[in-house]
Structure 1
Amino acid sequence: MKKLIAAIVLAGAALLATPAAANAAGYTPDSNVSVSGSFTAGGTAVVNFSEGAFQDNETVNVQVTGAGAVTLGALPTTTVSKAYTASSDGSLAVTVTFPQGASGTYSLTATGATSGVVGYASFTVAPADATAVSTANGSGTDGTLAFTGSTVSALALWVAGGAVVLGGGLLLVRGSVRRQRETV
């Protein structure tokens, strides 16, 4: 029984250490998406999906997420979803209005309800005070955002997590073998 449990733990560790394959889906190539407008607080951006990006007259579900509330139509929230209808040639234009206090990165995802085609766009909105380069104490900002991400790749995280799980499984097997030897 202990060997069976050890084998299951090791199999689970191997499964977690191996990344899963990505699901195939219909994606709109970057060449079919264009973004224009003002990426500033209070500004408006227009995302255009070119002809043939979606099926003719297809319902397209659009979702915008970001650091602060955005307005897609008349709905100001941090995540906005709204259904649009593609034109008779499969093109679509979506207008996004950023709030007065907007800053950071916003993402737009458009998914065709019938075709399942997914199109993406992202915006980096500069804060309203980004153009101010001097303050009372002589320091200021050049309008760039601080890097707050990580330099560790996802593969390194998967390998480290797999090693931890594998090590835990080996400790369980070792303890089981030790207890079995002590009882004999």
Structure 2
Amino acid sequence: MKNSMLKAVSSAALAGALVMAPIAASAEPYTPPTTPPSDTDTTYTAAPGVPVTVALGGFQAGEPVSVTVSGLNADDATLASIVKIAATSPAASYTAAGDGTVAPTVTLPANASGTYTVTGVGTVSGVVSAATITVAAAAGGAGVGTEDGLAATGLDSNSLLTLWVGGGALLLAGGSIVVASAVRRQRQSTI
């Protein structure tokens, strides 16, 4: 009785799925939402800690524009040396000039490296405009980490020593537990 009931429920579920499959197949195809026009073709080069003014365009005249900076350590970058930037939230609001442009001044953090993207989004038109700032290489090719200008590579021997001592202590503790439990079993079996 139990098996026949299970078979009946399974058959009904399978039949229902087969009946509903054509309905799902005839659903309307997905059309992605249209995105507002974009003006992304400007690239700048800047040194860490040096302000650079970027041009973002394509907005309506007088439109409020929300500007953000994203990139490595972008939360330490500043717009116009006043507003602290968070890479994931709108950082500053500017008003587009009569020609539809805004020109925020961005100061990259002292430890900046790689590329940063300054993005402006028109709050009325939805236009997205972006500029890329590439961090300039350090002058003279000096490396970081050693007196001779070469990059510090490899592993610090003090860290390795700590790892070996900690691992040895864990092995010693584990071995002691095994020996103690073996001795306890031995004593209990002789009693």
TM range (shorter): 0.5 to 0.7
**Could you say which residue in structure 1 is the equivalent of 2:13?**
2
Partner SS, residue 101 of structure 1: coil
Q: Aligned to 1:48, what secondary structure does the other structure show? A: coil
Task: Give structure 1 regions of 4+ aligned residues with deviation exceeding 3 angstroms.
Answer: 4-9, 33-37, 126-130, 133-141
Gaps spanning 5+ residues in structure 2: where? 1-11, 153-191
Greater share of residues in helix? 2
Q: For 1:83, what is the secondary structure of its paired residue?
A: strand
Distance 2:149 2:61 in 1: 57
Match of residue 150 from structure 1: none
* Higher-Rg member (1/2): 2
Q: Aligned pair 1:114/2:124, yes or no?
A: yes
Q: Structure 1 residues 124-133 or 40-49, which shifts more?
A: 124-133
Alpha-carbon shift at residue 140 of structure 1 (Å): 4.6
Structure-1-length-normalised TM-score = 0.55
Give secondary structure in 1 for the equivalent of 2:54. Answer: strand
Aligned ranges for residues 85-124 of structure 1 at < 5 Å?
85-124=95-134
* Structure 1 stretches lacking a partner, 5+ long: 15-19, 142-184
Identity among equivalent pairs (%)? 32
1:107 shift after superposition: 1.7
Q: Does 1:63 align with 2:68?
A: yes
Q: Structure 1 residues 42, 115: CA separation in 2 closer, same or farther (over 3 Å shift)?
A: same
Whole-angstrom CA distance in 1 between matches of 2:119 and 2:91 = 9
- The count of aligned residue pairs is 131
Q: Report the counterpart of residue 4 of structure 2 in structure 1.
A: none
Residue 53 of structure 2 is matched in structure 1 by 46
Greater strand proportion: 1
Please give the residue correspondences for 1:17-36 in structure 2 after superposition, counting only pairs within 5 Å: 22-30=32-40, 34-36=42-44
